Structure 1
């Protein structure tokens, strides 16, 4: 929620035709230590200055979760020791993770 508030302020100041440095200075005055970095402000300033409307993040695919817990590692070792000829899809079902979890 804070990111959206910051972006809304950047958008507002950009629409008021403030330059990027002024936007940064005003944001720093208003938000203090909670102010986004200068590079973030300049990035969003550029986006809003070039007709971006939304303050929301663009949709993107989720990064796959990496399974590294010792419990899963032990499951994998046990399954491989019991049946090293297991097919890939059977292996993932037995371990209880998706095929994108283990690389």
Structure 2
């Protein structure tokens, strides 16, 4: 494709639809994926939805990683508003997971940048 005029390029971009929009959460450990969740169309991610996911993640640990919950589960999340909502904070406390501090605006790579997405 060759663009000859700036205006033509803008027209083509405005008229095209690219891909689909989806939001997903993944809960995983060093052994693999524990839980995948994709936000249903028309649903908003909020503190209550995320709190429910934490309960599901705990159940996934109980079912898929027998004995690990009693040894302590370290949990890392960023500081997104759904993660810091009161209902989410309480749900995380109720799971018994031990939260690892993640500094805001940290330049560190997420652990998933190292090995998670290859097996998926």
Does the TM-score normalized on the shorter chain lie above 0.5?
A: no
Which structure is higher in RCO with an 8 Å CA cutoff and minimum separation 6? Answer: 1
Structure 2 length-normalised TM: 0.24
Asked which structure has the greater CA Rg, the reply is 1
TM-score normalized by the length of structure 1: 0.26
Structure with more helix by fraction:
1
